[in-house]
Structure 1
Amino acid sequence: MELLTALRTHRIVAIVRGADADAALRTVLTLAEEGLALIEVSLSGTDALDVIRRARAALGPAAPLGAGTVLTAEDAAAVREAGADFVVTPAVCEGVTEAKRLGLPVLAGVMTPSDIVAAQRLGADAYKLFPAAQAGGPGYLEALRGPFPDAPFVPVGGVDDEAARAYLARGATAVGVGSPLIGDAADGGSADALRERTRAFLDAVRLPAAQRQGSSA
């Protein structure tokens, strides 16, 4: 898949991490039904590889499906076998190198300029600014864009719908959202509430009409 194109188009990645594998799968499918196209299943959730396998079977081969918290070469190989077609890491680590070797696009976790340079050298497709809120929020993103004006940043960590708007306004390519969007859905919570939150986030990241028209001109 063309990860960078997808990030620029959809502008949000949902991060699913749950203690209940069946609920996590339902969460993935609910997000997809509501039109949220980029979904990441974190390996830190219960039976995450099985969730990825079942989600891939349910969504079909064409739907983007990511695996997160990929740290090692073994993680990268396992998520590829399970059906993930992009990888998200929390840091610049072995998972980046192996995922690229396997032909998977990577959203690599970074915080500092040194991290960004290291991730660039490994061929990362985009940069997960994590944890974004603790790093300094939208102001820190704007500061990083000085030395890295063309780098595709995806802030993750503490991103609610208002923060999503602020990051995108400061030049983020997309945002990654976990608990402010997922809530308790991946642990068995309300699917209806998840649907409402999903619609609110999709509205928050939607391009203004003028920009949509400009991008299609």
Structure 2
Amino acid sequence: MALNQDKLTALDVMRDAPVIPVIVLHDVAHAVPLARALVAGGIRMLEVTLRTPQALQCIELIAKEVPEAVAGAGTIRSAADAQASLLAGAKFGVSPGYTSAVGKACRDLGLPLLPGVATGSEIMNAQEDGYQQLKFFPAMQAGGLPMLKAWQGPFGDVTFCPTGGIHAGNAVEFLALSNVACVGGSWIVPTDAIQQGDWARIEQLAREATQLSR
């Protein structure tokens, strides 16, 4: 499916595939082959977390060298993070929590954001600022499936991407919920596979992830 990256919305990011990979890269040499393997497996929304000094350079390389991929930045915690991510070529952002400052910065930059929430109050704060597509994080530690089911009543207009503790064994349960559009997870980008350059394994994990029902 063709995608206009310049008019991307948070809902586009969430609906593209059942899983958004949560990627931690320590070596810039891994960025491009990893992105190509994920795209080959059917996953193109790639959340590269800002947890390492190399992250912004990795985003830049993916944006330049793998145009079929949609490079996003995770772990956005400030307006400065949002600005740096956009300059590096990120097309969307993901935050582990939510503040109005981060929400306003991303909105002003035109950077689609999936804000992280773990409580009803955080959901309400994000909604007040116009955000309806949210990341539930850390999903398992913050209540998991029962919490998402409880939120279906008061927050029936919100769509979630649960992240944190999601894996191949429980992803389908989350995807079956009406208020879940996708899940975030690192199981399709195992650290050992990245370190070993086992791109075939990652491509296969991505392909399997695209077959998860939702």
Tell me the TM-score normalised to structure 2 length. Answer: 0.88
Partner of 2:3: none
| Residues 117-141 of structure 1: CA deviation (Å, up to 9, x unaligned) | 1111223351100000111221211
Point out the more displaced range, 96-105 or 49-58: 96-105
Residue 86 of structure 1 contacts residue 105 of structure 1 at CA under 8 Å; is this kept in 2? yes
Secondary structure of 2:25's match?
coil
1:86 equivalent among 65, 82, 92? 92
Once the two structures are superposed, the pairs formed by residues 120-159 of structure 1 within 5 Å of their partners are 120-159=127-166
CA apart distance, 1:188: 4.0
Q: Are 2:32 and 1:37 equivalent residues in the alignment? A: no
Letter of the 2:11 partner, please give it. Answer: L
Letter of the 2:199 partner, please give it. Answer: A
Are residues 189 and 135 of structure 1, via their aligned partners in 2, closer, same or farther at CA, if it must alter by over 3 Å? farther
CA apart distance, 1:8: 2.4
2:81 equivalent among 56, 75, 79? 75
Of Structure 1 and Structure 2, which has the larger fraction of its residues in helix?
Answer: 1
| Residues 103-126 of structure 1: CA deviation (Å, up to 9, x unaligned) | 111100000000101111223351
Partner of 2:209: 201
| Residues 32-66 of structure 1: CA deviation (Å, up to 9, x unaligned) | 12110211111103411110111001122x74221
Secondary structure of 2:188's match?
helix
- The CA distance in 2 between the partners of 1:201 and 1:11, in whole Å, is 7
Secondary structure of 2:20's match?
strand
Tell me the TM-score normalised to structure 1 length. Answer: 0.87
CA apart distance, 1:189: 4.5
Q: Which runs of 5+ in 2 are unaligned?
A: 1-7
Residue 89 of structure 1 contacts residue 96 of structure 1 at CA under 8 Å; is this kept in 2? no
Partner of 2:55: 48
The CA RMSD measured in Å over matched residues stands at 1.7
Residue 20 of structure 1 contacts residue 186 of structure 1 at CA under 8 Å; is this kept in 2? no
Are residues 125 and 140 of structure 1, via their aligned partners in 2, closer, same or farther at CA, if it must alter by over 3 Å? closer
Residue 138 of structure 1 contacts residue 167 of structure 1 at CA under 8 Å; is this kept in 2? yes
Residue 35 of structure 2 contacts residue 66 of structure 2 at CA under 8 Å; is this kept in 1? no
**Pairs aligned (count):** 204
Letter of the 1:199 partner, please give it. Answer: R
CA apart distance, 1:167: 0.5
Report sequence identity in percent: 32
Point out the more displaced range, 157-166 or 190-199: 190-199
